[in-house]
Structure 1
């Protein structure tokens, strides 16, 4: 188990009991399943049990382990921001100040206003996880285009982090629905691997393509 995405706040009935169960799950994942990263949203709204402080203690108090805490960047919210650059820079500064990783969450429907390529370049110093929605219908909408542009830029930049593939929502518990969801995940996995293979072939054909300019600072 590589990553675990948690809510910022656990609310509703029996919130404390459910929050405690979540933390037990995280500890078991850390100790038994090789959990590497816990992802939390940057902001928390509503009433309930906040998860950030306790989860942070699990990571900093875990000597000898590579368990990390990542803050989730929500493109759907930032795309509506007047200045995506300043919003992204704010997330990056916070991650650097608190020694956090960054997780880019494209699972939420995102508008075409999201500057995918610029966002990747700006976040790459701390970007460790990218969550992608897997679609079974392959509809060419804004979210699909943003995902494709993001993956293309990540591959071009030699991204070596984790892709977290989210299966499409299932409207039933039958085997056919589960099979369609699994097929969508496998197809996304194949598409990503093919992009990396094409880059590797291009570099093998022309080694100069593998020498990217160093020290590039997006503006």
Structure 2
């Protein structure tokens, strides 16, 4: 039993070793070149070819970049700058147009509101003017009427003043007449008294 177990263990180790060797890597391909004068055989490793190709590609890219990186960068930067300048110009133009539009729109709204205010103000002023015109006409009519009344009163006053003056003149005349009448009476009385005295 002990020998069988050891043999089984050895077989398992051998199998494990073979599996490990099989799992290491794929076998390398042979690169065979047949010429009339020469026959060459070389191992072809895909990984090495890939690495060589990558290195060659990197070298070519580096050379290309060394030759054209400045030009490409300069052209790219110029294009970007031109694009940025164009975009900035477009954005500036758009912003300027937007500002102008907003400014004009605000100015139009202000004019519209001011026009409404003027219309209301004109209507109110017209109403006030009409009311004032009616009031002025009424005052002028009243003034004319008052002037007529004042004129009439003045005429009546002058009439009364003339009548008073005439009354004074008549009064003075009557006083003079009375005075003369008294003098005449006194004279007559004296004359009658002398004629009635008895003779001796």
TM-score normalised according to structure 2 size: 0.17
Higher strand share goes to which structure? 1
TM-score in terms of structure 1 length: 0.16
More helix by share: 2
Larger Rg: 2
